[in-house]
Structure 1
Amino acid sequence: MLPDEPRPSADGVQASTPEAVPPGCYRHPQTPTGISCTRCGRPVCPSCMVPASVGFQCPECVSGAHSETRRPTTRFGGTLTADGALVTKVLIGINLAVFVLAAYVFSPWLAQDWMLYSAGRAIQGGPGGVADGPSQWYRLLTATFLHVQVWHVGLNMLALWWTGQVLEAVLGRARFLGLYLLSGLAGSALAFLVAGNLMSSLGASGAVFGLFGATLVLQIRTRSPIGPVMALLVFNLIVTFSVPGIDWRAHVGGLVVGALTAVGLMFAPRERRGPVQALTMAGALAVVLAMVLIGMARYGA
């Protein structure tokens, strides 16, 4: 008899080899199964197996695959949303609400408290307003939401709607809001830097001109015709420098910083898009702060 040959039992009946028992499910060990996850190889029972394109997968592998699925983004890295113009609508709503309050409800003190006002130390009673110190720097922002004339708020909001909905759709909500606010602040900061010894200004024009500059950058980035945007920009610049009472400093400051910020947001390399865009925003904010500090050195106490 060979060593591996089954030995007969005492009553002469040949002994049988025990059948292999299927492994138990990794989540329900008491349930034997012959099916394994096609991704990790763990045994899965009918209550745990999830149909896949090939075979079955375990719940953990399926949830992991879902978490690794890349979320859809806008062209320049923003989160894709159902309403691509929500921030634009909110900004228009805020501007209109402040206009009603300043022009009809809390007139004239709200406009006086929120406008971009500055009187340097060379002025009798100065420094006042922004030149008086950080406690008054809020005017740099509040003035960008302040209007007291219907035509003024109407033209600015029309321009905001035309440009804002397009830019928000390609940049995403957070990047678009940052661009808008930085442009408005830059316009206020340049106005203070140039004329902070005695000045008053209000309106969203600085922020709107920043959107004009960003729209021009977008046309260049997407290789689209720039003629219509250039015509709109040139027309508004002619009006800016030819009509008395318009604060050209706010327009120029918003335009330059808005365009430069848009360059960083739209031309950032895909593999380093997040850090480059964050540094762009931080750099624009640093420029605004530098203009304010230099203005304080010129006009402050």
Structure 2
Amino acid sequence: MTQHERQPGLSACFRHPERDTGIHCTRCERPICPDCMIDAAVGYQCPECVRQGAAENAATQPRTIAGGRLRTDTRLVTLCLIGVNLAVFVGLKASEYLGSGEFGLIRDFAMLGYAWAPGSPELIGAATGEWYRLLTSAFMHQAVFHIAFNMFALWFLGPNLEAALGRGRFLALYLISALAGSTASFALAAQNQFSLGASGAVFGLFGALAVLLRKLRYDMRPVLVLLAVNLVITFLPGLNIAWQAHLGGLVAGAAIAYGMVHAPRRNRTAYQVGVCAVVLLVLVGVCVARTLQLTS
């Protein structure tokens, strides 16, 4: 049947002109054929109106200051990160107890720039292409006090930032801060020095919280005092703390948080992704430069 032979009382589907229909979209009132009909609360809607409605709902949905979705549970990602750190710690201790050697796992996955493997003629480290160490080292802890301090700090800082940024943005902040801490250790520490722990990521959260409080015009003194105390502890002699990771995470966390909370509302997500990408590109550039320096 052609358009000129249409049955009385029927219209042409606005998306398929060759099809007759007696159904109209309840929102825009345009005729729609069975292939274009989508169930609505009342009647049917066309695909365009359904997409437009979804976009309007997303635009009007309450958002965090950084554009993330508001959640009733603001501790989920924080708890997952704590769980991963604890699981790795238990794995390290179990490996030691079973006799397979805790140090073997540290040798293979902790942050190390470029060195001979203990008891082996093999060269190991990030400069040999083992760049995964930049991330795996951030989930490894040797001593009970070390993981206890970092997980307490993560529990103290995490839920507030997770609530303010949203889950995805908070996770990106944590992981990139961890990478920044490892990158700073790679670039500034001795090439044969092992380092491990979530301290770089935690200091990234400190930097992010300071930026967030500044944006919200809250009293920053408690956080600044706590941060100052931790920085003093970082540089105390005899504690053997990787200060490079702390400073690297702090700077990266502050930079990412600034980009997230100051992003323009228009194209906010794209802007935030761009900020994270720029920080990652800087980290890659530093790693490549350090690798060339060590291996040339």
Q: Does 1:156 align with 2:150?
A: yes
Give the match for residue 139 of structure 1. Answer: 133
Give the match for residue 202 of structure 1. Answer: 196
Give the match for residue 273 of structure 1. Answer: 268
Instruction: Go from structure 1 to structure 2 and tell me whether the alpha carbon gap of 1:213 and 1:127 turns closer, same or farther (over 3 Å shift).
Output: farther
Deviations 1:53-93 (A, max 9, x none): xxxx7543874564233323322122334432211111100
| Counterpart contact for 1:118–1:127, Cα < 8 Å | no
Instruction: Go from structure 1 to structure 2 and tell me whether the alpha carbon gap of 1:139 and 1:49 turns closer, same or farther (over 3 Å shift).
Output: closer
Structure 1 length-normalised TM: 0.78
* 1:113 CA drift (Å): 1.5
Size of the aligned set, in residue pairs, is 268
Structure 1, 87-96 or 108-117: larger mean CA deviation: 108-117
Name the amino acid aligned to 1:159: A
Give the match for residue 182 of structure 2. Answer: 188
Q: How does 1:73-112 map to 2 (within 5 A)?
A: 73-106=63-96, 107-112=102-107
* 1:24 CA drift (Å): 6.2
Which one of 14, 29, 44 corresponds to residue 40 of structure 1? Answer: 29
CA distance in 1, matches of 2:172, 2:112: 24
Give the match for residue 218 of structure 2. Answer: 224
Instruction: Go from structure 1 to structure 2 and tell me whether the alpha carbon gap of 1:38 and 1:94 turns closer, same or farther (over 3 Å shift).
Output: closer
| Counterpart contact for 2:12–2:21, Cα < 8 Å | no
Deviations 1:8-51 (A, max 9, x none): xxxxxxxxxxxxxx956999x898x9x995743769xxxx9988
Name the amino acid aligned to 1:247: A
SS of the residue aligned with 2:65?
coil
Instruction: Go from structure 1 to structure 2 and tell me whether the alpha carbon gap of 1:129 and 1:286 turns closer, same or farther (over 3 Å shift).
Output: same
Structure 2 length-normalised TM: 0.79
Instruction: Give the unaligned 5+ runs of structure 1.
Output: 1-21
* 1:243 CA drift (Å): 4.3
SS of the residue aligned with 1:118?
coil
CA distance in 2, matches of 1:133, 1:158: 34
Which one of 231, 234, 238 corresponds to residue 232 of structure 2? Answer: 238
| Counterpart contact for 1:102–1:110, Cα < 8 Å | yes
* 1:278 CA drift (Å): 1.1
Instruction: Go from structure 1 to structure 2 and tell me whether the alpha carbon gap of 1:126 and 1:249 turns closer, same or farther (over 3 Å shift).
Output: farther
Instruction: Give the unaligned 5+ runs of structure 2.
Output: 1-7, 14-19, 33-37, 97-101
Name the Cα RMSD after superposition. Answer: 3.3
SS of the residue aligned with 1:69?
helix
Give the match for residue 67 of structure 1. Answer: 54
Name the amino acid aligned to 1:84: T
CA distance in 2, matches of 1:210, 1:293: 22
| Counterpart contact for 2:27–2:49, Cα < 8 Å | no
CA distance in 1, matches of 2:166, 2:71: 8
| Counterpart contact for 1:180–1:210, Cα < 8 Å | yes
Structure 1, 81-90 or 258-267: larger mean CA deviation: 81-90
* 1:299 CA drift (Å): 1.4
Deviations 1:179-210 (A, max 9, x none): 11111111111111112432111100000000
CA distance in 1, matches of 2:247, 2:229: 14
Identity of aligned residues (%): 38
SS of the residue aligned with 2:267?
helix
| Counterpart contact for 1:187–1:252, Cα < 8 Å | yes
Q: Does 1:175 align with 2:169?
A: yes
Which one of 243, 248, 257 corresponds to residue 252 of structure 2? Answer: 257
* 1:168 CA drift (Å): 1.3
CA distance in 1, matches of 2:269, 2:194: 38
CA distance in 2, matches of 1:49, 1:113: 56
SS of the residue aligned with 2:241?
coil
SS of the residue aligned with 1:179?
helix
Deviations 1:240-290 (A, max 9, x none): 011420110000000011101111111111113122111101011011111
